[in-house]
Every structure is written in C-alpha cells, then in structure tokens.
C-alpha cells in the first residue's frame, strides 16, 4: 500500500528571517519588497502579518495600508535556498524518494517504512522534531495514499500540524471539502464554480464525467472528476518532461524608449545564456514577452534549426521577435525572454559540422562565466550592458 507525506514549511521566507533576526520574532514580517519599492508584491507574510489581512501575491503598497507597523524586507533567496537544502537533507533521512516541488515543499514516499519509523503520527512527530531541532523551522504535514490528497491534507494542518487521511477514506475526505480547497482550481475556475453553483466537492462529485468534460474541457474535466474522488492526479504522480528557463524584468515606471527596453533585453540575454551554459543545456526555441502599461501581455516564439550558441546570437533572435510584436506607441512595463524545450548539450543538430564561427565566442562566454563564478564581485560583463551602466 503506497503512502505519502506532503511537507510544507510554514511561512517559509518570513520564518527564516525571524530565525536570523530574533528581534523580528512575534512581529508581522512581510517579505517581498519595501513599502517604497514600486510594483513589488508580497512573497510571504508571517502569521502575525496575516492577521492584518496581508497575504502572498498582494501588492506591497496594499499590504502597507493594512499593516503599516509591519517589518518589510526584500528577501534573500540565497539564504532561503540554503535553508531549504538543509530541510531536504533531513527529509532524505526518512526516505530515499523525496520529490521537491518548490523551495519550501516536498513529497516523501514513505511506502513500506512503517517498520522503521512507526505509524503516521509517530513518523510525523519524528520528522517535525528533527526539522525543528536541526533548522529551527516548523513544517506542516499531510499523509495520504497519493500525493494529491497528501497535498490537500497538509493544507488542512497549517501551521505546524499533522493531518492524516487514512487509506480508504480519501473519497469521503475530499467530498466534504469546499471547492476552494481544490488544488489546481484557481481564480478563474472558482468563478466558474460560482456560476454553476458548486459549493462543495460533493456538488462536483454528483456530475458524470462527460458533463465535467463538456463544461471544463477534456483534460481539466477529467482532473476534477478524479480530484473530488481523492484519486491520484497523474500530473503530480509522473516525472515531468519538458523544461524551460526564463527571465523577465518589470520596470519601476513604464518605458517608451526602445533603446532602454532593448538594453534590458540584452541583460536578460546575458542572464539566460550564463544559466544555460552553467547547466550544460541547449535550446533551439526562444521566446519574448512584452507586458504593456494596461497589463495586456503579448508573447512570440520561434524555433530555429540550430541551438542558440552565444549571447549575441540569442539577442539577435530575441530582438527580431521583439520588433515583430512591439507597438512603440504603448508604454512597456515588463520585458521578458525564455528558452524552451531545453535539451542536454551535445544533442546533435543539422549544421553543427559547419558551426565553427561561434565556437570562439562560445568559449569566451564559458570562460567569463567561470571567472564570474570564482569572483562574484568582478562584474565581468560584455559591451552593451556595461555601457548602459555608465
């Protein structure tokens, strides 16, 4: 009988800050941006801050109105990633099958570990103790016979709790929940639920699969049909296939100057190219994203016969796409770019034999990357973005 834990660190970024800064403990801490930072949003609010109505994804400006006495921080991802790795290492002491799904969440397959660690309540207590003692953090745990239900269960246990769904009771557990608890049904879908008068999962449970498919589409209809029955959602059970990487920048003020936007695009190219080389990946498909002042967003992508080799080549491809889309009369609040369908390096491509021109430049970029890794403060960069700093 399969059995899983979903583990979710409580108010993770805010908790790390309170750990590192004891004077912040017991106070409302909001990580995401300072009140004076334009266009920043809340990443994590401590439980003390949530009492004021502050929550994730809320504009910091709004949070400040609700909670002017809060402690506002921009956050330190490096530090959070380090703490996250400590926690994941502890998970690995309990089972070799740990599937990390974000910086503060993981699924643990504990099938067959009962002899070693005991029944769920006992494993849970041991896990929570180990994490508190070794890292100073608290975690919420959900136990169930599949990952999807375990995820919902951990949500019920927050903060610092344990919620166990006994095998065989998954369907009963899910049916009783309000539709707002369905993981994978966000704002737009909740709006649909209201329109159809669906309040609890039981209301959805009553409908035949065919009705759900015709209302919500084939894939999502099937997903809902299974979710309200407490059945495993395949997307969360399978190893995921495709990979992409992207970087974007929201400007503090809307930009109307093409050169400034392109300079930001070039810096994004540098970021992406270094990350690509660093992870030994390659990509033939590039994409750009433009968000205008009215928040409308357009994107464009193109697949080329050969993978991107250098920063300049990436910039040329992206810049062409940008000009195909860009409406110069409109203010731009965000520019972004991505590399899609990543493959491991050395995947052969037609034309590689003739590709000696870029090799020099590619090696130079790899070299610059090595130096930047060794001396993070050296700020070794290439022409265009260096000029833009002046």
68 or 217: whose CB is closer to DNA?
A: 217
Least Å distance, CB 169 to DNA, is 22
113 or 372: whose CB is closer to DNA?
A: 372
367: helix, strand or coil: helix
Report the relative pairing of strands 245-255 and 332-340 from DSSP bridges.
antiparallel
Contacts with 212 (C-beta within 8 Å, 6 or more apart), sequence order = 204, 221, 222, 224, 225
Site string for DNA, 42-61 (x = CB under 7 A): -x------------xx-x-x
Contacts with 41 (C-beta within 8 Å, 6 or more apart), sequence order = 32, 33, 57, 58, 59, 60
Report yes or no: 374 and 315 within 8 Å, Cβ to Cβ: no
For residue 302, indicate whether it is catalytic.
no
Where in 205-234 is the site for DNA (CB under 7 A)?
217-220
62 or 328: whose CB is closer to DNA?
A: 62
Identify the residue among 161, 184, 237, 388 touching DNA (CB under 7 A).
184
Report yes or no: 40 and 187 within 8 Å, Cβ to Cβ: no
Least Å distance, CB 167 to DNA, is 23
Does an H or E element contain 163, and which?
strand 162-164
* 76-103 burial code (b ≥16 CB/10 A, e <16): eeeebeebbeebeebbeebbeebbeeeb
- Per CB under 7 A, which region of 22-30, 178-186, 203-211, 308-316 contacts DNA? 178-186
Site string for DNA, 79-118 (x = CB under 7 A): ----------------------xxxxx-------------
Where in 236-255 is the site for DNA (CB under 7 A)?
240-250
Asked if residue 267 binds DNA (CB under 7 A), the reply is no
- Per CB under 7 A, which region of 159-167, 169-177, 187-195, 312-320 contacts DNA? 187-195
Site string for DNA, 148-167 (x = CB under 7 A): --------------------
Where in 284-343 is the site for DNA (CB under 7 A)?
285, 287, 294-295, 297-303, 333-334, 336, 338
Contacts with 151 (C-beta within 8 Å, 6 or more apart), sequence order = 6, 107, 142, 183, 236
Report yes or no: 215 and 192 within 8 Å, Cβ to Cβ: yes
**Backbone angle region of 106, left / alpha / beta, with phi > 0 → left and psi within -120 to 50 → alpha:** beta
Q: How many residues bind DNA (CB under 7 A)?
A: 57
User: Rg (Cα) of the chain, in Å, rounded?
Assistant: 24
Q: Is the peptide bond before 379 cis (omega within 30 degrees of 0)?
A: no
Which candidate in 48, 105, 262, 267 is catalytic? Answer: 105
126 or 381: whose CB is closer to DNA?
A: 381
Q: Please tell me the distance from the alpha carbon of residue 149 to that of residue 170, in angstroms, as a whole number.
A: 7
94 or 281: whose CB is closer to DNA?
A: 281
Least Å distance, CB 303 to DNA, is 4
Residue 343: how many other CB atoms lie within 10 Å: 13
Residue 65: how many other CB atoms lie within 10 Å: 13
Inter-CA distances, 33 with 60, 102, 131, 232, Å: 7, 21, 28, 37
Least Å distance, CB 350 to DNA, is 12
Identify the residue among 15, 18, 40, 157 touching DNA (CB under 7 A).
40
Least Å distance, CB 387 to DNA, is 22
Report yes or no: 302 and 248 within 8 Å, Cβ to Cβ: no
24 or 245: whose CB is closer to DNA?
A: 245
Q: Please tell me the distance from the alpha carbon of residue 361 to that of residue 365, in angstroms, as a whole number.
A: 6
- Binding residues (CB under 7 A) for DNA: these are 38-41, 43, 56-57, 59, 61-62, 65, 101-105, 182-190, 217-220, 235, 240-250, 275, 285, 287, 294-295, 297-303, 333-334, 336, 338
Active site residues: 105
């Amino acid at each position: 009988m399969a059995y899983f834990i979903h583990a979710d660190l409580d108010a993770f970024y805010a908790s790390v800050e309170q750990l590192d800064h004891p004077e912040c403990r017991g106070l409302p801490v909001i990580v995401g941006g300072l009140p004076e930072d334009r266009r920043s949003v809340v990443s994590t609010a401590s439980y003390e801050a949530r009492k004021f109505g502050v929550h994730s994804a809320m504009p910091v400006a709004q949070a400040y109105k609700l909670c002017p006495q809060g402690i506002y921080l921009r956050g330190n991802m490096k530090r959070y990633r380090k703490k996250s790795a400590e926690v994941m290492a502890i998970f690995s002491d309990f089972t070799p099958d740990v599937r990390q799904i974000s910086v503060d969440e993981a699924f643990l397959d504990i099938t067959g570990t009962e002899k070693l660690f005991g029944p769920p309540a006992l494993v849970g207590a041991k896990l929570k103790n180990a994490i508190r003692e070794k890292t100073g953090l608290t975690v919420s745990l959900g136990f169930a016979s599949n990952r999807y239900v375990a995820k919902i269960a951990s949500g019920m246990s927050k903060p610092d709790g344990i919620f166990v769904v006994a095998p065989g009771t998954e369907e009963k557990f899910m049916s009783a929940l309000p539709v707002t608890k369905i993981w994978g049904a966000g704002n737009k879908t909740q709006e649909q639920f209201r329109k159809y008068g669906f309040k609890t999962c039981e209301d959805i449970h009553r409908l035949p699969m065919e009705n759900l498919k015709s209302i919500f589409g084939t894939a999502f209809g099937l997903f809902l049909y299974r979710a309200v029955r407490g059945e495993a959602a395949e997307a969360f059970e399978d190893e995921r296939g495709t990979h992409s990487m992207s970087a974007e920048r929201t400007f503090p003020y809307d930009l109307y100057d093409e050169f400034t936007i392109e300079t930001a695009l070039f810096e994004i190219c540098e970021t992406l190219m270094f990350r690509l080389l660093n992870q030994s990946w390659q990509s033939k498909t590039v994409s750009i994203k433009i968000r205008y002042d009215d928040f409308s967003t357009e994107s464009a992508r193109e697949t080329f016969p050969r993978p991107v080799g250098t920063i300049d080549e990436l910039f040329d491809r992206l810049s062409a796409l940008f000009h195909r889309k860009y409406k110069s009369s409109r203010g731009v609040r965000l520019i972004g770019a991505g590399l899609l369908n990543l493959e491991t390096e050395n995947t052969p491509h037609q034309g590689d034999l003739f590709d000696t021109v870029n090799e020099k430049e590619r090696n130079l970029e790899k070299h610059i990357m090595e130096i930047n890794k060794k001396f993070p403060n050296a700020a070794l960069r290439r022409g265009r973005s260096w000029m833009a700093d002046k």
